A and B are shown apart, each in its own frame.
Chain A
Amino acid sequence: MRSRPRSAFLLPAVVLTVYMVYSLGPVLWIALSSIKGRQDLFTLPPRLIFTPDFAGYQAVFGVGAARDSAAAIGLSQALVNSIVVSVAGTLLATVLGTLAGYAASRFRFPGRDDFMFFALSTRMIPPTAVLVFYHVMYSRVGLSDTVGGLVLVTTFINLGLATWIMKGFFDGVPVEVEAIARINGYSRFWAFRRLVLPMVRGGIAATAGFCFIFAWNEYSFASILATTKANTLPVRLSSAMGATGIEWTQIFAAGMVLIVPVVVFFYLIRRHLLMGMTFGVLGKGGT
């Protein structure tokens, strides 16, 4: 390793530190504020040392004094719904998007560019614009307020994103990978599964991560399409906002609780997330 001038380390260190303050300061602040009592929330100057008050969390979990809180999630049906909808929606969007992204990257099928553009344009539609029609459509086919209906809409909102991101990653894999496999007598599907997919697993992990975030936090569609039986955590928690003014501690506590599954999900996929692509098969890279 060559030695480098000191400044080559100084600049990145300074930039990363400044960004860390910007990025993590508010995270720290929401964590602190979620355990502040009403009187400690609005003091001047803001207190760093205070007696923790877990009323917000009690309300979120519906225990103690806040047993009957409207926003309580506890181990409610909403928690189950949220998990089912996000996991199924993420899985479907990632699998379908990976397949479609591969096809769009490798095959010149008629209307390919139109298909890709169409896939992207589905993400451009503001939820408010199509909600009215989903509402009508869902009640006609009996999908209103069902977990299945929400899984469908969750898959849909992420499918365009998944297809595009995966196409980008497949574009980065040289076509020679499949060519060599086929010369050696393997099918294209075998090459796709055994050679190409492992190369883009960082991309698949990133895609699944994004899909899960969007699915888990999705509010607009769920709030209209799944109002009672199939409601999800964000919908349930939204009742903490507005009814009796802004319940700051409840909102912050809810934010802290809701982030946990996403962090767990990222922890589970972490090994794949930043896996560099290896072009060892070819001994060369790029397209």
Chain B
Amino acid sequence: MARDPGLPPRRLPRELSDRMLCGLFVLPTLGVLLVMVAYPFLSLLYYSTLSFSLLRPGQAPRAMGFGNYTMLLTDPALWERFVFTGKFVVLTVTVQMLLGILIAYFLQRDFRGRDIVFTLFMLPMMLCPIVVGFLWRYMFNSEWGIINVMMAAAGLGKLDWLGIADNALVAVVIADAWMWTPFVILLATAAFRGIPVNIREAARIDGASPAFVFFRVTLPLSAPILAIALLLRLIDAFKQYDLFFAMTGGGPGNETMTVSFELGKIAFRYFYTGLASALAVLMLVIIVGLAMVFVRRLTLAAEER
């Protein structure tokens, strides 16, 4: 590459080496993360081998070895929680990714009032999560909730949304996708706009169909951001707590109880601190394991390009 006469000559004689710059850029973040994770995680591992409760600090903790883990792993109810959580995560993340990418795609075209529409679409994500839960619970009420009223008016009949497990799952997915599709729209739009216009123009001039341009140019070029959006949504959906707390309270029975909800119950209602720590470790192992597989594939895909 030749020297570009458009840029004025350098002014600064002093220069940071790449290594120093890299260290200066990474270390603060690494420091904060280590302080906030290392200590709690090590304590978590230690506590998970004990039988004790935070409520009774005077009582000496009893060493359990892997007792907490065997108790959890042999409990069939816990597996139901994991299965239910998995169903919820897959459903809600699929809906919000597809919907988010679709809406972002259609929002690329310039039309009057687009920026206002875009801004309005961000509103659900800005609401306080716990308020969102109560709002949907209010709207899903089987008697006077607006959703059933509209369904009845449309001749579809009323549904017991929150009283039947499968319906409740759909209801929470509708609420969660409502709240978090904007997250995907925002990241996808930013990613789409990051693609230089001339690449798409070139493809169009070559006679490629819009579908071809989308699947062969737009999607692959915005893949890094979309993959990150997917990963973050998966993680957050796995942790989802507020919506279940406000909408179903885990019911009917325990049928809409997620792992995260169960953990909260063991830790802060029953105060079985040891058992809760073991469940937290299990949860982390599962989600970290899944994320590792995902991230490895992501890194491989990125290196292939």
Contacts and interface: CB of A to CB of B under 8 A. Distances in A.
A44 B273 CA distance: 46
Contacts, number: 311
Contacts of A262: 126
A168 B144 contact: no
A44 B152 CA distance: 12
Given A99-B25, A124-B287, A20 B117 contact: yes
A120 B1 CA distance: 37
Nearest to B1: A183
A46 B26 contact: no
B7 A181 contact: yes
A275 interface: yes
A270 B119 contact: yes
A91 B15 CA distance: 27
B224 A171 contact: yes
A54 interface: no
Place the interface of chain A in its size category.
35 or more
Contacts of B7: 180-181, 184, 186
B72 interface: no
A100 interface: yes
B65 interface: no
Cβ-closest 6 pairs across A and B: A285-B196, A185-B10, A129-B280, A255-B131, A133-B40, A103-B25
Nearest to A30: B135
B71 interface: no
A132 B274 CA distance: 11
B124 interface: yes
A115 B40 contact: no
Nearest to B261: A128
A286 interface: yes
Contacts of B198: 284-285
B284 interface: yes
B178 A266 contact: no
Contacts of B236: 123
Interface of B: 1-4, 7, 9-10, 12, 14-16, 18-19, 21-22, 24-26, 28-30, 32-33, 36-37, 39-41, 43-44, 47, 54, 99, 102-103, 106-107, 109, 115, 117-132, 134-136, 138-139, 143-144, 146, 149, 178, 181-183, 186-187, 189-191, 193-199, 210, 221, 224-225, 228, 231-232, 235-236, 238-239, 241-242, 260, 263-264, 267-268, 273, 276-277, 280, 283-284, 287-288, 291-292, 295, 299, 302, 305
Interface in A100-127: 100, 102-104, 106-107, 109, 113, 115-127
Interface stretch (A11-19, A62-70, A73-81): A11-19
Contacts of A102: 25
A237 B128 CA distance: 11
B127 A180 contact: no
16 contacts: A104-B26, A109-B26, A125-B284, A128-B280, A133-B40, A136-B43, A161-B232, A165-B187, A184-B9, A186-B7, A188-B16, A217-B128, A238-B130, A262-B126, A286-B195, A286-B221
A23 B32 contact: no
Interface in A224-280: 234, 237-238, 241, 246, 248, 251-252, 254-255, 258-259, 262-263, 266-267, 270, 273-277, 279
A219 B102 contact: no
A3 interface: no
Contact of A180 (B1, B123, B195, B267): B1
A124 B117 CA distance: 32
A61 interface: no
Contacts of A43: 144
A121 B122 CA distance: 26
Contacts of A168: 191, 224-225, 228
Contact of B130 (A27, A33, A104, A219): A219
Given A185-B9, A274-B189, A285-B198, A126 B106 contact: no
B22 A24 contact: no
A276 B193 contact: yes
B30 to A, nearest CB: 7
B122 A219 contact: no
A255 B128 contact: yes
A128 B139 contact: no
A137 B15 contact: no
Contact of A266 (B4, B122, B239): B122
* Most chain B beta-carbon neighbours within 10 Å: one of A42, A120, A159: A120
A16 B29 contact: no
Given A99-B29, A189-B21, A152 B36 contact: yes
A120 B302 CA distance: 17
Contact of B190 (A180, A202, A284): A202
Contacts of B2: 183
Contact of A15 (B30, B103, B122, B195): B103
B149 A285 contact: no
A279 B221 CA distance: 14
A273 B194 CA distance: 12
A124 B288 contact: yes
Contact of A99 (B12, B28, B125, B182): B28
Contact of B29 (A120, A137, A159): A159
A142 interface: no
